[in-house]
Structure 1
Amino acid sequence: MTSRSRVRAAAVCLAAAGIVLLVAPGALAAPLGDPTVSGGTQGREYVALGDSYSAGFGLEPFSEEPAAGCFQALANYPHRIAESLGLTLDDRTCSGAVTADIRDVEQVTAAGASAPVQSASLSATTEIVTLSIGGNDLQFSDIAASCIAASSLGPLVADQTTPNCRSKYVVSGGGVEVDTLKDRIDSLVAPALASTFALVTEKAPNAEIVVVGYPAITPDPTNTPVGGCFSPAFTAAGYPENSFPFTDVDTAYLHETEAHLDAAIQTAAEASGATFISTLEATAAHSACTTTDSYMNGITLEPGEGTPTTPGASLKLGALHPNEAGVAYLAETVGAALRTSLEPGTPEATAPTATASATATAQPTAPAPTAPTAPLVIAGVLVLLGAALGTALFVRRRSAAANRTPKHTPEA
């Protein structure tokens, strides 16, 4: 069975309404920087760990490494960095990974294959480690799915009585607001991150360890257009390209949530002695909201398999993940930091700067869409974001493993 067939089979099992995934066309991009490498980095052992944001989810062609269904792109940023610096790469990144998959759990992939425990690739001879992880522990794909809205003012598609996602996750009690997502980060994700980074440091004691934060999916207030970001994922006329179907309230709320996760990752990374590279602020002007110079894919649906009474929809891989420009930015940013660290005395390379535009471009304003059918809205749109953030591609099949208390993590 081909890789594409396995993806379709897994998608059909997950989506009872016949939703399938459509692989977006992609191309193998040129490697980072000048192909000429220096003796200071040539041949050094480099291990890349992490989830879909490291694996390059959505950038075809994919390899079958470390297992079928990991959606590891041949042009992801670890491969570009390795080629640019002349490193010997062992790329263990796999879409859908959680912290437990880094530490001590074999990951079941979208194709039903088993990816080895990622940290098993580390040793005293490992010289460089890059790692992005944490988004799936927060279950951000499920969160994003619950936030799909009918218009910039709401309501939510899955719950017509709820105006926005913030009101779903921020609860009031005794006159005090409690943000359940921030609480989840503090009580569950942060300890898991701390345990994971400590283990990586223990297994690769001689390595330069770089933890890379997630780029901005939604913009910060400074880079949010006056007219807002909302554009519908589906209309009576069809499916727009790179839509941004989140309310104005949730655009801000989701960014706040990502910023809280970014801070938690930084705290855990630095406590373990690793270097942390935050990409959140630098990419805020290049989120999925912007229609120009975006580093992130929006959401694109296309007509797909279904029935005469229940239309189907297909989702292009890579939704809410770095596009070609975004992966290039990550490669340049992380690669520049590694070159400076590995080659003392080398003039510090200037990573590309994501400069905020003084006149941010808004998404085209559109009236509240008329959903093709209620079954499509409920089945298609919610399932599509189980694949978005890729991270959680088909993770529901093994949610118990993802959410259990890690062996190296203290009780939350």
Structure 2
Amino acid sequence: MRATKSRWVLSALLAVSAVTVGLAQPASAAASAGERYVALGDSYSSGVGAGSYLSDSGSCQRSSKAYPSLWAAANAPASFSFTACSGATTGTVKSGQLAPLNSSTTLVSVTAGGNDVGFADVMQTCVLQSEATCVNAVNNAIAQVNGTLPGSLSSLYSTIRSRAPQARVVVLGYPRFYQLNGNCVVGLSETERAAINRGSDALNAMLAKQAANAGFAYSSVVDEFTGHEICSGNAWIHSVTVPVSNSYHPTATGHSGGYLPAFRSVA
């Protein structure tokens, strides 16, 4: 009787396990299939630097290798709207990218803020001018991060929430550009590289704070890019390159190995 009872209990447990596994997989698939995803933001979301630009994206340079495209290809959401655009600021995201958002939207991603504080101009200054001028440009950008950017982010985030009240919104940050004491023997000084990283850290801290204030999820990409910065020997970020527009943007591997896991971890 004991042996028979033990076999019966084991069979029952196996049956329950099989049912549980059988139900879990379709439920997960159904959740992905039901997503209505909108990808907003600047060049770090559109995929500048990743190549394989979509023919209808024009100067926005939306890439099939950018993290929003990769996530959509892997998860087959019910709908996918990709409006991120190179050069976007918080203001132009708000004025020109939010049309696909509605009460049915379930997932939104966004990168914005770097262009508001002129980080492209900062990098140009650091490449072309003196160390002191570079550090001063970074400090001026940080002053904008702490001064005008909070209000701009708050305005954008509140508009996103009003347009997509049911959506999970994921704000993604920016990588540190440089591995300090790395293998670069020419180019910017260590002082300049450290200042630029400090600027990225300040920007990311503000993005995280404003995302939390809005009730949005924030996902840093710093950990994913650690060991893959410029001067690391295995960079996922372009240094100064041709075309110049690719400079200081993630490569295709930076999107698949950096931004995609960071987004997926909270999406």
The TM-score, its normalising length taken from structure 1, stands at: 0.55
Match of 1:90 among 81, 88, 92: 81
Letter of the aligned partner of 2:117 in structure 1?
A: L
Match of 2:263 among 334, 357, 366: 334
1:168 aligns with 2:124: no
Q: Which amino acid aligns with 2:198?
A: E
**Partner secondary structure for residue 49 of structure 1:** strand
* Structure 2 partner of 1:59: 50
Residue 259 in structure 1 maps to residue 201 in structure 2: yes
Find the residue that maps to 1:40 and give its secondary structure. Answer: helix
Match of 1:325 in 2: 253
Residue 72 of structure 1 deviates from its aligned partner by 0.6
Which residue of 1 is the match for residue 24 of structure 2?
A: none
CA RMSD of superposed structures (Å): 1.9
Corresponding residue for 1:225? 181
Aligned residue for 1:295?
A: 236
Report the Cα distance in structure 2 between the residues aligned to 1:59 and 1:254, rounded to whole angstroms: 22
Query: Which residue of 2 is the match for residue 3 of structure 1?
Result: none
Matched, 1:182 2:128: no
1:197 & 1:134 partners in 2: Cα distance? Answer: 12
- The residue number in structure 2 matching 1:4 is none
1:166 Cα deviation after fit: 4.6
Alpha-carbon contact 2:131-2:191 (below 8 Å) kept:
no
Deviation digits for residues 306-349 of structure 1 (CA, Å, limit 9, x no counterpart): xxxxxxxxx355221111221112112312322xxxxxxxxxxx
**Matches of 1:200 and 1:271 in 2, distance apart?**
13
Separation in structure 1 between the aligned mates of residue 53 and residue 137 of structure 2, nearest angstrom: 36
Tell whether the 8 Å contact from 1:259 to 1:280 is kept in structure 2 after alignment: no
1:165 Cα deviation after fit? 3.6
Aligned position for 2:99: 120
Report the Cα offset of residue 81 of structure 1: 0.5
Which among 247, 253, 274 is matched to residue 216 of structure 2? 274
Number of matched residues?
A: 238
What code does the residue aligned with 1:50 have?
G
- Which has the larger helix fraction? 2
- Residue number in structure 1 paired with 2:13: none
Distance 2:201 2:72 in 1: 29
Unaligned runs of 5+ in 1: 1-36, 105-116, 149-156, 171-178, 232-244, 302-314, 339-412
Letter in structure 2 aligned against 1:71: Q
Give the whole-Å Cα distance in 2 for the aligned partners of 1:133 and 1:167.
23
C-alpha distance in structure 2 between counterparts of 1:198 and 1:144, whole Å: 30
Distance change in 2, residues 1:291/1:186 (3 Å): same
| CA distance in 2: counterparts of 1:60 and 1:269, whole angstroms | 29
Paired residues of 1:216 and 1:281 also in contact (CA < 8 A): no
* Alignment partner of 1:135 is 2:63: no
Q: TM-score, normalised by structure 2?
A: 0.83
User: Which one has a bigger Cα radius of gyration?
Assistant: 2
Matched, 1:80 2:70: yes
Following superposition, the deviation at residue 230 of structure 1 comes to: 4.5
- Cα distance in 1 for residues equivalent to 2:59 and 2:137: 32
